[in-house]
Chain A
Amino acid sequence: DQQVKQNSPSLSVQEGRISILNCDYTNSMFDYFLWYKKYPAEGPTFLISISSIKDKNEDGRFTVFLNKSAKHLSLHIVPSQPGDSAVYFCAASDSNTGNQFYFGTGTSLTVIP
């Protein structure tokens, strides 16, 4: 039962353009969402998070948008850089239980110089 889904396994974007990575979830109790970036042979690195009391959180080139009614979140990277090429995972949790994060299957982003 995949409660967090990333339906695009891969995405290619030209350097300098916007990258948009999407994530859908099914559990309405999820109230905390994170994006992680993963390079080969490394563990996931925390990128940005958003609580369900917000619909947008911005950190430099990275912005996460949350649409609770659609159970959808997205990560925008502007402008995209070749160093952003990695696998991106979204994750969700119910902070009332707090102890389990559900991850999507990841989207492999390639930024073309």
Chain B
Amino acid sequence: ETGVTQSPTHLIKTRGQQVTLRCSSQSGHNTVSWYQQALGQGPQFIFQYYREEENGRGNFPPRFSGLQFPNYSSELNVNALELDDSALYLCASSPRLTGSSYEQYFGPGTRLTVT
């Protein structure tokens, strides 16, 4: 069983640029969530995708957007990068959506640095 993978591992971008981060969910998981983890903080929920539709969004501006593909892999896009976007971006997949309790399985993350 393949776990959650993310690419790239590290990325350096300049303020104002755009970035795309990628995530492959664990086999059999149809739900993907994205989190931002700033230094010294816990992961903060950005949004979740279920069967290619956004299903829930945290307190992040519209310049954070995403996609989920038919194979349940996902992308996180961030436009007009700001210095405060520098963080570890984590992707997590899970097998079910609402109405039941479930754990999320995290990938290793992408470290984004904005200069």
Residues in A lying within 8 Å of B, measured CB to CB: 4, 6, 31-32, 34, 36, 41-46, 49, 51, 89, 91, 95-106
Contacts and interface: CB of A to CB of B under 8 A. Distances in A.
Nearest to A42: B108
B17 to A, nearest CB: 24
Contact of A49 (B4, B103, B108): B103
B106 interface: yes
Contacts of B106: 36, 43-46
A51 B102 CA distance: 10
Contacts, number: 71
Nearest to A2: B42
Contacts of A46: 103-106
B16 interface: no
Interface in B86-115: 90, 92, 97-109
